[in-house]
Amino acid sequence: MYPAPIQERPRAVRIGYRVSLYAAMLLWMTPLIAIMMTAIRPQADLLAGNYWRLPSHFALFENYREVFATSPMGVFFLNSVVITGVTVIAVLVLSTMAAVALAKYPLPGRTLLFAMFIGGNFVPYQILMIPVRDLVLQLGLYDTVWGLILFHTAFQIGFATLFLRNFIAALPNELFEAARLEGASEFQILRKIIVPLLRPALAGLAVLIFTFVWNDYFWALVLVQSDAAKPLTLGLAGLKGEWLTAWNLISAGALFAALPPVALFFLMQKHFVAGLTAGAVRG
Amino acid sequence: MNAPRTEGWEGRLSAAPPPARRLGGLRVWQNNQAWLTPLLLLVLPVGLFGLLIITPIVQSIWISFYDWDGTGPATWVGLSNYAELFSDPQFYTSLKNNVIWLVLFLLAPVFGLALALFLNQALPEMRLVKSIFFIPLVLAHVIIGVVFTWFYDPTFGLLAILFNWLGLEPLAILSDEHFVTFGIIAAALWSQIAFCLVLFLAGLSQLDQELIAAGRMDGAAGWSLLRHIVLPQLRSVSFVASIITVIMSLRNFDMIAVMTQGGPYGSSTVLAYQMYDATIFSYRAGYGAAIATVLFAIMSVYIAWFLWHTLRREARGG
Amino acid sequence: MESYKTSIRNFLVTNPPDVAFWFTGARMKTFTKRGLFDDMSGFFAENNLTDVMKPWLPAVSEGDKQYMMPTNFTTWGFFYNKQVFEKVGVAPPATWDELMAAAAKIKAAGVTPFTIGTRDLWANALWFDYLDMRMNGLDFHMQLMDGKASYTDPRVKAVFAKWGEPIGKGYFLDNASSYGWQEAIPFLAQGKAAMYLLGPYVLTSLPAEVHGNIGFFPFPVIDPSVPKAEEISVNGVTIPSGAKNKPLARSFLAFLAQPDNLKAFALGGAVLPARTDVDVSGDAFAQSQMALAKNAQGSAQFYDRDTDPEMAQVGMKGFQEFLANPKRSDAVLDRLEAARQRIFK
C-alpha cells in the first residue's frame, strides 16, 4: 500500500493526520457549508447584514415555501426529471444495442465506428450548436423537453457505447456459443444472456448519464426558452436574476437542484466510481 | 481484462445445426441473422449519432465559409470569416484565456494526485470522507458558478469579508479584467480536482503491492518510492486524467455564462463563449461557426491523441 | 429573452405561430424586409384604432404600411430613493448641472449617487442614448444608430467627455460589472445608492411596500436648445405571413386592443398600454409615464433596438469598459468605429 498505512506510524503522526484530514475536509466543503447555512437563513438576517454568522433561526422550510410559491421550481424539477429519465432509458437501450454489435460481431469498419463514438464524445459542443438548433427547430421540437431528450440521447450514446463495449468484450464467447448451439436466436441471446450480465455496468452507466444530463446547462440554453420546458439548471440561473439578493432562496433552490445527483451518488457510489474509472485505470 | 480471448463465436457459426424449415421469410432471417443482427442493432444508435453529432460537425465547418445571420439567405464568403477572426482582438483575448484555462487546469491532476495520496488510508471513516471529497464532481457547474459568484461579491461575499478582516480593500474579482479569469478557473478547478481525485484513488487501489514491498525492501521510501515505483504504475491514469482535464478546460462554458457572461467587456471570454455570443447576440452564425471550427481544430489534437492511446490499448488486448 | 430574440427568427420561417409578440422599429423591419410579417394596414381603421394608437403607429410602420399592432410601451428615466433625497436635502433635478450638484451632495453624505449593474450590458446604454439625445439631438442620434455617423465624431467624443464627469468623480456604483441590472436595484431600495437610470422594472423587482419610497424624474436637460426627445420602447404583436389562422388571429388582436384588455395586458408587466384613451387615473406613476410619452418631442427606442444587433453588442461592451475605465474612452470609440465600418458597409 502506498503511502504507508498511517496505523504503522507513531501516535502523534496519527493524531496530526486526523486533524489535518478534517481541516482539509472543512476547507474543501466551505462552498457547500456556506450554501447550506444560507438556505436555512431567514431573509431578515440577510437584510440585517448577517450573511455569514449563525442564522437567527432555522428558516429552511419557510425558504422552500417561498421558493415554490414565487417560482416555477416545481415545473423545472419535473422537466429535469422527464428529460433525464427518458434520456437515461433511451441511452441504455440504444447503447447496449450498439455495444453488442461492436463488441461481438465482426463488422467491417467497426474500429472506425468505435473511434467515431469516442471522438464524438469529446467534441466541443459549440461546433454542434447552430446545426442542432436548426434541426430541432425544423422538427418542431424547439422549446420542448423532447428536443433536449433527442439531443442528449444522441450525444450520450457515444460515451455509453464505449463504456459498455468494454464490458461486453470481456464476456467469454463460450457463453454465447453454447446458447447458440441450443438454438437461441441472436436477440434472445441479447435479452436473456447479455443484459442480465451487464446489470452492474448498466447501473453505473445510468448514474453517470443521469449526472451529465441533469447538470446540463448549455443545451438547455440553446434549445429551450420558456419556463414550461426549462430544466432546473437553466431555471435556477434565471431565478438568480429575479430573486435579486435573496440569497437564502437562491441557496435553497441550488440545494434542491443539487440534491438528486448527490443523493444518487451516495446511494450508488460504488457503481459511479467504477463507471468513471472504467478504462482509465488499467492498460 | 483477464477473459481469455478466443477467435470469437462467429468462426463457429457455420458449425451450428441448419435451421429447421419454416416459413420463407423467417428462414431468410434465420440464415442471415448472424450478419443482419449487428446491422439492425446499429441502425438506430449510429443513425442518431450521425444525424445529431457527426453531420452537424460537417455542417458547422461548411457554414463557417458563409456570411449568414442564422435564418435568411447565406452568402458564400470563402475564408473571410477566418480572416476577420484572425484580426479580431477579441479572438486573441479568448485564445489567451483558453491557454490560461488549459495551463491552470493542469493543476487539477497534480492536486488530484496529491489529495489522493493524502486520502489513501484505511481509516474506518475514510469511505465517508472520500465521498465528501467527491461531491463537487456531481454538482452542476451552474450551481458552483452561482455559489462562487456570491463568494466573490465585493460588498458582502465571504472573500470581501476576509479582505476586510485583513484590513484590505475588497477585490472585485469578477469585475476586474486581470483577475476575472482566475476567479472563474478557481471555481472550475474545485470540481475538476474532485474528478482527478476519483481516478487517482482508483489507480492507487490497483497498485502492484509486491513491487512496492520489493521497493521498500530495497530501502526506497517516501519520495523515491513515489517517483520510481508508484508513478510509473499510474502512467495510464495520469494520461487519461490529463487529457480529459485538457478537453474539459477547452470546453468550459457554463461557469463563464453564469458568472460573468464573458465580461467585463469580453475579458473573461473564451472561444466557446465567444462563439455563443457571436451567434446568439450578434446573429452571426457564419462567424460563430468559424470560431467553433477553430476550437474544434485545437481540440482535435487532444481528441486524436486520446483516440490513439485508447485504440492502441484496444489493439494490445484490453 | 435573449434566447427568444434568436428563436423567433427561426420559428417565423419554419413553424410560424398565429400571432407573435415582438419589438417595433428597427427590430420589426428586420422581418418586414423579408416579408415575414403580414400587412396589417387596414386593421387599424377597421377597428377604430387609428386615432387612439396614433403616437405609436410610426413605430410599427414601414413606408405607409403597418405591420404590427402596438400593445405597450416603456419609458425610461431616473428612479430615486425619496428618503435619501430628503435626508441630503436635494430635489429632483431638471438640468444636468443640478443633477451633478445633487450627486456631489449625495456622495458627500456617504451614499452612492448612481447605482447600475452592467454585467448584462444593456442598462448602461441608457446613459449613452440620453446623453447623445440631450447633447446632439435625436436626428444625430438616429444617424449614429443607422451607421451613418461616426463614433469618432467630435460630438460622440463630447458625449463620452460629459459621461466621464460623473464617472471620474466616483458617482457610480463601484464594480458595476459585478452586478446584473437587477442585482443593482437593492442598493437603491436600501438607501445605499440614490438613483438608478432605468425603466419601471425597478418597481416590479421590488416588494410593493417600498414602492412609496421610490420617485421618478425624467433625464434632465443638458442643452436647452436641443428638443427634448425621450427613450420610449414600444412593443407590439404581429401576425406572421405564414400564420395558419389569420382571420382568427385578427379577431384576437382586435379583442386584445380593447382598452380594458390592453390595460390589463400592459399593467401586468408594469408597462403602459399603447392607447391614449386608456384610463390610468388611479395610478400616479402610470400617469406620469403617459405624460412623459405624450410630451416627448420625438423618441428613440433603445440602443439595442435602434442599431444593428451586432453593433449593439460591440457598443454595449464598449460602454461597460468605459464605465470601468474612463481613461480608455478613445480606444473604446476607435473600436466602436471600426465595428461600425465593418457592420454598415
Residue C23, strand partner residues: C235
Give residues with Cβ within 8 angstroms of B310, minimum separation 6: A118, A279
With an 8 Å Cβ cutoff, the interface of chain A facing chain C consists of: 133-134, 137-138, 140, 142-143, 221-222, 224-225, 241-242, 244-245
Q: Is residue A125 part of a domain?
A: yes
Q: How many CB pairs under 8 A join A and B?
A: 321
| Domain interval for residue A240 | 71-277
Burial of C175 (0-12, 13-18, 19+ CB in 10 A): buried
- Does the pLDDT at position C13 exceed 80? no
Residue B110 cell numbers, joined: 497534480
CB C113 within 8 A of CB C171: yes
Give residue A280's pLDDT band: very low, low, confident or very high (50, 70, 90): low
Which of B79-93, B114-128, B146-160, C71-85 is the least confident region?
A: B146-160
Chain A closest CA to B162's CA: distance in Å?
Answer: 11
Task: Count other C-beta atoms under 10 Å from residue A259's C-beta.
Answer: 11
Which of B20-24, B67-71, B143-147, C339-343 is the least confident region?
A: B20-24
Tell me the torsion sign for CA atoms B23, B27, B28, B33: positive
| Mean pLDDT value across residues B40-66 | 95
Residue A283 cell numbers, joined: 492498460
Instruction: Pick the residue of C1, C5, C7 with the most A CBs within 10 A to test the interface with A by mutation.
Output: C7
Nearest CA in chain A to B214: A1
- Does the pLDDT at position A281 exceed 70? no
Give the pLDDT confidence score for residue B148 in this predicted structure: 92
Residues A25 and A133 in one domain: no
Residue A269: alpha-carbon gap to chain centroid: 13
Measured distance CA(C291)–CA(C115) in Å, rounded = 26
Residues C312 and C194 in one domain: yes
Cross-chain residue pair C174–B154, CB shorter than 8 Å? yes
Residues A42 and A94 in one domain: no
Residue B295: alpha-carbon gap to chain centroid: 14
Cross-chain residue pair C10–A134, CB shorter than 8 Å? yes
Which of A237-251, B269-283, C111-125 is the least confident region?
A: A237-251
Q: What is the DSSP string of B214-238?
A: HHHHTT--HHHHIIIIIHHHTHHHH
CB B143 within 8 A of CB A257: yes
Give the pLDDT confidence score for residue B106 in this predicted structure: 95
Measured distance CA(C212)–CA(A4) in Å, rounded = 69
Nearest CA in chain B to C36: B72
Residue C119: closest CA among A238, B257, B101: B257
C-alpha radius of gyration, chain A, whole number: 24
Contacts of B265 in chain C (CB under 8 A): 177, 317-318, 320-321, 324
Measured distance CA(A58)–CA(A64) in Å, rounded = 12
Residues C15 and C57 in one domain: yes
| Mean pLDDT value across residues C91-106 | 97
Give residue B2's pLDDT band: very low, low, confident or very high (50, 70, 90): very low
Residue C73, strand partner residues: C234, C272
SS3 C236: strand
Percent of chain A with pLDDT over 70: 96
Q: What is the DSSP string of A178-196?
A: HHHHTT--HHHHIIIIIHH
Q: Is residue A282 part of a domain?
A: no
Measured distance CA(A213)–CA(B192) in Å, rounded = 17
| Mean pLDDT value across residues A11-28 | 94
Which of A139-143, C53-57, C114-118 is the least confident region?
A: C53-57
Looking up cell 422599429 gives C25
Nearest CA in chain A to B309: A283
Residue C193, strand partner residues: C112
**A258: domain CATH number?**
1.10.3720.10
Chain C closest CA to B250's CA: distance in Å?
Answer: 23
Q: Is residue A283 part of a domain?
A: no
Which of A206-210, B276-280, B307-311 is the least confident region?
A: B307-311
Contacts of B89 in chain C (CB under 8 A): 335
Give the pLDDT confidence score for residue B217 in this predicted structure: 87
Residue A174's region, left for phi above 0, alpha for psi from -120 to 50, else beta, is alpha
Q: Which residue type does B245 have? A: T
With an 8 Å Cβ cutoff, the interface of chain B facing chain C consists of: 69-72, 84, 89, 152-154, 172, 174-177, 260-261, 263-266, 277, 279-284
| Mean pLDDT value across residues A253-271 | 90
Residues C67 and C177 in one domain: no
Strand order across the beta sheet in which C112-114 lies: C112-114, C193-198, C77-81, C214-217
Give residue B156's pLDDT band: very low, low, confident or very high (50, 70, 90): confident
Chain B closest CA to C277's CA: distance in Å?
Answer: 37
Cross-chain residue pair A241–C180, CB shorter than 8 Å? yes
Burial of C104 (0-12, 13-18, 19+ CB in 10 A): middle
**Tens digit of each residue's pLDDT (9 = 90 or more) over A146-174:** 999 999 999 999 989 988 888 888 888 88
Cross-chain residue pair C310–B152, CB shorter than 8 Å? no
Residues A132 and A232 in one domain: yes
Instruction: Give the count of domains, chain A.
Output: 2
Residues A117 and A30 in one domain: no
Residue after which a domain boundary falls, among A62, A80, A105: A62
Give residue C135's pLDDT band: very low, low, confident or very high (50, 70, 90): very high
More confident residue, B289 or A274: B289
- Helices then strands, counting H and E runs in chain A, come out as 14, 0
Residues A77 and A40 in one domain: no
Q: CB of C177 within 8 Å of any CB in chain B?
A: yes
**C310: domain CATH number?**
3.40.190.10
**Tens digit of each residue's pLDDT (9 = 90 or more) over B186-245:** 999 999 999 999 999 989 988 888 888 898 888 888 888 898 889 999 988 898 899 889
Measured distance CA(C46)–CA(A84) in Å, rounded = 51
Terminal CA-CA length for chain C: 29
Q: CB of B47 within 8 Å of any CB in chain A?
A: no
Residues C10 and C113 in one domain: no
Cross-chain residue pair A28–B132, CB shorter than 8 Å? yes
Q: Is residue A118 part of a domain?
A: yes
Cα distances from B137 to residues A235, B117, B133, in angstroms, run: 21, 18, 9
Chain B closest CA to C50's CA: distance in Å?
Answer: 33
Cross-chain residue pair C119–B261, CB shorter than 8 Å? yes
Give the pLDDT confidence score for residue B317 in this predicted structure: 61
More confident residue, B12 or A92: A92
Chain C closest CA to B90's CA: distance in Å?
Answer: 11
| Mean pLDDT value across residues C230-247 | 91
Residue A240: alpha-carbon gap to chain centroid: 22
Residues C193 and C44 in one domain: no
Q: Is residue A1 part of a domain?
A: no
Chain C closest CA to B278's CA: distance in Å?
Answer: 8
Percent of chain C with pLDDT over 70: 98
**Tens digit of each residue's pLDDT (9 = 90 or more) over A79-129:** 999 999 999 999 999 999 999 998 888 888 888 888 888 888 888 888 999
Nearest CA in chain B to C316: B265
Give residue C333's pLDDT band: very low, low, confident or very high (50, 70, 90): very high
Contacts of B263 in chain C (CB under 8 A): 118-119, 121, 177, 317, 320
Supply the mean pLDDT for chain C: 90
Instruction: Pick the residue of A245, A249, A250 with the most C CBs within 10 A to test the interface with C by mutation.
Output: A245
Looking at chain A, which subunits does it touch, using at least 3 CB pairs closer than 8 Å as the criterion? Answer: B, C
Give residue B63's pLDDT band: very low, low, confident or very high (50, 70, 90): very high
- Does the pLDDT at position A274 exceed 90? no
- Does the pLDDT at position B9 exceed 80? no
Give the pLDDT confidence score for residue B94 in this predicted structure: 96
Cross-chain residue pair B263–C318, CB shorter than 8 Å? no
Measured distance CA(C200)–CA(C204) in Å, rounded = 7
- Does the pLDDT at position B318 exceed 60? no
CB C112 within 8 A of CB C192: yes
**DSSP state letter for A281:** S
Residues C169 and C94 in one domain: yes
Cross-chain residue pair B35–A177, CB shorter than 8 Å? no
Supply the mean pLDDT for chain A: 88
Which of A139-143, C8-12, C63-67, C194-198 is the least confident region?
A: C8-12
More confident residue, B249 or C207: B249
Cross-chain residue pair A140–C3, CB shorter than 8 Å? no
- Does the pLDDT at position C270 exceed 50? yes
Residues C16 and C125 in one domain: no
Contacts of C118 in chain B (CB under 8 A): 263-264
CB A84 within 8 A of CB A143: no
More confident residue, B315 or C265: C265
Chain A closest CA to C1's CA: distance in Å?
Answer: 8
Residues C221 and C201 in one domain: yes
- Does the pLDDT at position B17 exceed 70? no
SS3 A12: helix
- Helices then strands, counting H and E runs in chain C, come out as 15, 11
| Mean pLDDT value across residues A250-265 | 91
Nearest CA in chain A to B280: A222
Give the pLDDT confidence score for residue A105 in this predicted structure: 84
Q: Which residue type does A262 have? A: V
| Domain interval for residue C63 | 2-74+233-300
Tell me the torsion sign for CA atoms C270, C276, C279, C281: positive
Residue after which a domain boundary falls, among C267, C284, C300: C300
Contacts of C4 in chain A (CB under 8 A): 225
Cross-chain residue pair C178–B153, CB shorter than 8 Å? yes
Give residue C226's pLDDT band: very low, low, confident or very high (50, 70, 90): very high
| Mean pLDDT value across residues B37-61 | 93
With an 8 Å Cβ cutoff, the interface of chain C facing chain A consists of: 3-4, 7, 10-11, 14-15, 180, 182-183, 185-186, 205
Residue C188: closest CA among C211, C166, C221, C167: C211
More confident residue, B149 or B101: B101
| Mean pLDDT value across residues C206-234 | 92
Give residue B11's pLDDT band: very low, low, confident or very high (50, 70, 90): very low
Q: What is the DSSP string of chain B?
A: --SPP-S-GGGGGGGSPPPPP--HHHHHHHHHHHHHHHHHHHHHHHHHHIIIIIHHHHHHHHHTTEE--SSS--EE-TTHHHHHHHT-HHHHHHHHHHHHHHHHHTHHHHHHHHHHHHH----TTHHHHHHHHHGGGGS-HHHHHHHHHHHT-TTTSHHHHHHHHTT-PPP-GGG-TTTHHHHHHHHHHHHHHHHHHHHHHHHHHT--HHHHHHHHHTT--HHHHIIIIIHHHTHHHHHHHHHHHHHHHHH--HHHHHHTTT-STTTT--HHHHHHIIIIIS--HHHHHHHHHHHHHHHHHHHHHHHHHHHHHHHHT-
Measured distance CA(C170)–CA(C116) in Å, rounded = 13
Residue A140 cell numbers, joined: 418542431
Looking at chain C, which subunits does it touch, using at least 3 CB pairs closer than 8 Å as the criterion? Answer: A, B
Give the pLDDT confidence score for residue A114 in this predicted structure: 85
CATH 3.90.1150.10 fits B89-316, yes or no: no
Give residues with Cβ within 8 angstroms of C286, minimum separation 6: C267, C272, C280
Residue after which a domain boundary falls, among A62, A79, A109: A62
